[in-house]
Amino acid sequence: MKETATLFLIVSLLAIPMFGCSSAPKAVAEAPPTYKGAPPEQPATPPVAAKVASAPKLTEVQDAIKRVFKDAAVLYPDRNPNFLVGDFNGDASQDLAVIIKPVKLDDMNQSFRPWLLRDPRSNVSPKLRMPIAKDETLLAVIHGYGANDWRDPEATQTFVLKNAVGDDLKVQTGKEVAAANAGRKLPQLQGDLIGETIQGAQGYLYYATSTYSWYDPKTFKGVEEASGVFHRARTMK
């Protein structure tokens, strides 16, 4: 009996290493590599290209006049420049200001004009009918519409301005006008302006809510009277 117990103990001691060796080592997960320098650059997202207005062509200007006035008016040939491009009503769309000459007075003086006739340098109410004279020099401002601005086939919203064509016409931003007239009273500006000299007075044509007005820095008293029926731009960008 004693010998049997001793034999069992020996067999047990011999079996321990065998069971210990039977267990396989566990796999160790490999750590991700570390970067000693700056992390690799990610591909940059390409910037969205800004809309760039192309320079107007004479044929495009003539097409715009034809669209609005049919055969009633043409581009005034004896002026340089005789057209300008800018955002004159402040709606982020490019507009066309073009000097025109009436050729069909009956059509230009029709009862229901498809444009708005105004005199920015006069206090005459727009409710009073103002006739257009033969060979009168007029400034037409065709507001831009849609993706193609003033070139768009549906860009027909137009102001026709009397007594508004002078010398040295040029487009100026509101910031430029404010800087040039620092210390003087300014109207509320909401777009580009047309700077020019009319009868010796240097001033600016600007859009004033519902019409175009004349700003003379030397005589402006800070009172702005917007006359006429409100003619809202059909598109706002």
Residue entry with tokens 């050729």: 103
**C-beta separation of 130 from 163 below 8 A:** no
- How far apart CA 173 and CA 86 sit, in angstroms, is 9
How is residue 53 written in tokens? 């207005």
State the burial class of residue 207 (Cβ atoms within 10 Å of its Cβ: 0-12, 13-18, 19+): buried
Q: pLDDT tens-digit profile of 90-147?
A: 999 999 999 999 999 999 999 999 999 999 998 877 777 899 999 899 999 999 999 9
State the burial class of residue 91 (Cβ atoms within 10 Å of its Cβ: 0-12, 13-18, 19+): buried
Q: pLDDT tens-digit profile of 199-212?
A: 999 999 999 988 99
Q: Is the pLDDT of residue 10 over 50?
A: no
- How far apart CA 84 and CA 164 sit, in angstroms, is 14
Most confident range, picked from 7-21, 158-172, 220-234: 158-172
Q: pLDDT tens-digit profile of 20-76?
A: 444 454 545 545 555 455 555 555 555 544 556 688 999 999 999 999 999 999 999
What's the pTM? 0.73
